[in-house]
């Protein structure tokens, strides 16, 4: 066999091991062996793939071999022989890896062809080459090859006597070349055309500020429009091309001529749904509405319960266009729901700091009672309160940033955010707790509106930082529980009815009440001043 094929030098096993060393088969699916010989390199690749337990599928390997006898050997091993001359091989198939030991007589041409194929899409090339090809670049081809290998930062190892112990020996020095060509960035002519059209439209049209004035929302809506328009063009192009991309040929019963029976791209449709413009738009809408609900600019001040309620609307919102008008409409709905959310949160917090944990002796100091409007069961939350909120895990490790503790403190903070109106400097609650956890500082952890101290017995001591904000909190909670008269804060102390004065005296006294009347805009919560979004509305 060797006598008739002067270019056939089977690759020794130790050299194959060197060639395949460092190959990460996790990213390799399609392989080309353009000088397959008797299949030694292919066999080694397949063995390596079998040993990789991360792979869930076999390698897709194509072989090229000019020698008829060697082709029979390859086919006998169930290897796929797709062509007989690599230099004339013309395919649009993409390969993650081309690995080869080409004929030394024209190895330069073979390696240049392999690099050219991978330049189209990106991928790796591993090649065993006569060292003289690189060390003596006296032809234009060799100089071109040397330039490309330098450009792609190829790894080159020169090996002496590589074939002295081979099945067919030679003393030629070889160069083992490994090169990774970068993945080619795809440019969409459809998307590029739409971008240019959008830029021209924005340049010619004055900004519409009637709904939402702000870069963030305008930018994300424009991005949505661009994605939808590009997708629609692609879908329509697909249907326009489908009749010309054949699935199979059949004989026409009437004429006897061979005719097409359908597009092969039908199998590319995702799931059971038809590929239609409306289905596509619904899915894109869903993606953008979800992104909006994850953005703190839109929902950052909502309590957990409100965020959950609006996340449940995603399916419904698929039928609403992602537009500035609908974002504004949703924002209005959010604001209308915030007051209810605040009432629920504060009422729940009042309850939690009082009778919910009445069985726990320490919590009895959380509140003091006063005679409320039409009831004697009213209370005020004290500056320091105690909650059965555990900052330690089952193994006694200090973990205050875990979900249950974190979410409770976040909801308390959001409640005060509403009342504060953004006047207090921000403190990142999660980071503050994580910092305390890292340094095991269990006491007096400073958060935005309060300090917290955790004890191993499972309690959390909370001290509110601002007495004025706590007063505002108590007023709001008491008003919404019906414990303060409807006229509270709206008229002077002297103008109150006797029974109203009785409640005010029990709640805070004349001096503190006069402070409320004098600073009514601060102490009496106005939901119209809520600003859920950082973007302003006209």
Helix (H) or strand (E) holding 537: strand 536-537
Q: Are residues 109 and 209 in the same domain?
A: no
In a domain, 372, yes or no: yes
Which domain-ending residue is among 146, 181, 216? Answer: 181
Q: Could you tell me the CA-to-CA distances from 59 to 25, 52, 194 in Å, in that order?
A: 9, 11, 39
In a domain, 333, yes or no: no
Q: Are residues 370 and 418 in the same domain?
A: yes
In a domain, 326, yes or no: no
Q: Are residues 462 and 415 in the same domain?
A: yes
In a domain, 327, yes or no: no
Q: Are residues 115 and 219 in the same domain?
A: no
In a domain, 426, yes or no: yes
* Residue 332: predicted pLDDT: 76
In a domain, 345, yes or no: no
Q: Are residues 286 and 421 in the same domain?
A: no
Average pLDDT along the chain: 81
Low-confidence ranges of the chain (pLDDT < 50): 1, 203-213, 264-272, 531-538
Which domain-ending residue is among 134, 152, 181? Answer: 181
Q: Are residues 309 and 380 in the same domain?
A: no
DSSP secondary structure letter of residue 529: G
- Other residues' Cβ atoms within 10 Å of the Cβ of residue 408: 16
Q: Are residues 22 and 160 in the same domain?
A: yes
Q: Are residues 504 and 362 in the same domain?
A: yes
Q: Are residues 441 and 293 in the same domain?
A: no
Q: Which alpha helices (H) appear in 124-214, and where do they start and end?
A: 132-135, 140-151, 189-204
Residues sharing a CB contact under 8 Å with residue 107, sequence separation 6 or more, in sequence order: 127, 129, 130, 133
In a domain, 340, yes or no: no
Query: 507, 501, 500, 502: which is closest to 485 by C-alpha?
Result: 500
* Residue 210: predicted pLDDT: 38
Which domain-ending residue is among 289, 316, 343? Answer: 316
Is 74 buried (19+), middle (13-18) or exposed (0-12) by CB count in 10 A?
buried
Q: Are residues 425 and 288 in the same domain?
A: no
Query: 422, 442, 438: which is closest to 529 by C-alpha?
Result: 422
Q: Are residues 456 and 359 in the same domain?
A: yes
- Other residues' Cβ atoms within 10 Å of the Cβ of residue 150: 10
Is 345 buried (19+), middle (13-18) or exposed (0-12) by CB count in 10 A?
buried
The CATH number that applies at residue 36 is 3.40.50.150
- Other residues' Cβ atoms within 10 Å of the Cβ of residue 196: 10
CA 424 – CA 385 distance, rounded (Å) = 21
Q: Could you tell me the CA-to-CA distances from 352 to 65, 387, 466, 501 in Å, in that order?
A: 79, 8, 20, 29
* Residue 161: predicted pLDDT: 77
Query: 385, 430, 428: which is closest to 403 by C-alpha?
Result: 430
- Other residues' Cβ atoms within 10 Å of the Cβ of residue 510: 12
Query: To which residue do tokens 């904000």 refer?
Result: 469
Q: Structurally, how many domains does the chain consist of?
A: 4
Q: Report yes or no on whether pTM surpasses 0.75.
A: no
Q: Are residues 118 and 200 in the same domain?
A: no
DSSP readout, 435-501?
A: HHHHHT--S-EE-SSEEEEEETTTEEEEEES-HHHHHHHHHHHHHHTT-S-TTTTTS-GGGS-HHHH
* Residue 463: predicted pLDDT: 95
Is 242 buried (19+), middle (13-18) or exposed (0-12) by CB count in 10 A?
middle
- Other residues' Cβ atoms within 10 Å of the Cβ of residue 373: 21
CB 246 within 8 A of CB 266: no
DSSP secondary structure letter of residue 362: G
In a domain, 329, yes or no: no
Determine the structural domain holding residue 213 and report its residue range: 189-244+276-316
């Amino acid at each position: 066999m060797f006598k008739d094929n002067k270019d056939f030098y089977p690759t020794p096993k130790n050299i194959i091991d060197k060639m395949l060393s460092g190959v990460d088969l996790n990213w390799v699916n399609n392989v080309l062996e353009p000088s397959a010989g008797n299949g030694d390199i292919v066999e080694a690749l397949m063995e390596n793939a079998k040993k990789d337990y991360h792979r869930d599928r076999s390698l897709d390997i194509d072989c090229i071999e000019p020698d008829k006898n060697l082709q029979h050997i390859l086919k006998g091993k169930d290897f796929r022989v797709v062509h007989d001359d690599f230099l004339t091989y013309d395919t649009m198939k993409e390969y993650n890896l081309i690995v080869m030991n080409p004929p030394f007589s024209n190895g330069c041409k073979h390696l240049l062809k392999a690099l050219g194929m991978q330049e189209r899409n990106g991928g790796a090339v591993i090649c065993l080459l006569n060292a003289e090809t690189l060390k003596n670049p006296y032809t234009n081809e060799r100089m071109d090859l040397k330039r490309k290998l330098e450009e792609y930062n190829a790894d080159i190892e020169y090996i002496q006597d590589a074939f002295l112990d081979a099945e067919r020996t030679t003393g030629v020095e070889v160069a083992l070349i490994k090169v990774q060509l970068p993945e080619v960035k795809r440019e969409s002519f459809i998307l590029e055309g739409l971008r240019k059209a959008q830029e021209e439209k924005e340049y010619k049209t004055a900004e519409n500020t009637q709904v939402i004035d702000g870069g963030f929302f305008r930018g994300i809506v424009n991005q949505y429009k661009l994605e939808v328009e590009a997708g629609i063009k692609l879908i329509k192009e697909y249907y326009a091309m489908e009749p010309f991309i054949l699935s199979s040929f059949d004989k026409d019963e009437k004429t006897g001529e061979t005719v097409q029976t359908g597009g092969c791209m039908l199998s590319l449709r995702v799931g059971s749904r038809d590929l239609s413009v409306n289905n596509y738009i619904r899915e894109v809408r869903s993606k953008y509405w979800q992104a909006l609900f994850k953005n703190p600019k839109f929902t950052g001040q909502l309590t957990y319960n409100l965020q959950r309620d609006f996340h449940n609307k995603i399916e419904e919102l698929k039928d609403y266009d992602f537009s500035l008008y609908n974002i504004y409409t949703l924002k209005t709905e959010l604001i209308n729901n915030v007051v209810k959310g605040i009432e629920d949160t504060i009422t729940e917090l009042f309850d939690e700091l009082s009778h919910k944990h009445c069985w726990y002796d320490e919590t009895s100091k959380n509140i003091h009672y006063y005679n409320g409007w039409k009831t004697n069961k009213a209370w005020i939350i004290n500056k320091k309160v105690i909650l059965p909120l555990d900052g330690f895990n089952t193994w006694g490790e200090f973990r205050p940033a875990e979900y249950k503790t974190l979410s409770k403190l976040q909801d308390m903070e959001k409640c005060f955010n509403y009342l504060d109106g953004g006047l207090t400097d921000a403190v990142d609650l999660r980071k503050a707790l994580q910092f305390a956890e890292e340094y095991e500082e269990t006491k007096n952890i400073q958060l935005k509106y309060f300090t917290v101290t955790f004890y191993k017995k499972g309690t959390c001591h909370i001290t509110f930082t601002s007495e004025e904000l706590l007063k505002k909190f108590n007023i709001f909670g008491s008003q919404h529980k019906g414990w303060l008269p409807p006229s509270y804060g709206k008229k002077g102390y002297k103008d109150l009815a006797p029974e109203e004065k009785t409640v005010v005296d029990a709640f805070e006294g004349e001096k503190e009440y006069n402070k409320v009347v004098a600073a009514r805009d601060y102490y009496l919560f106005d939901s119209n001043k809520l600003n859920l979004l950082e973007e302003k509305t006209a």
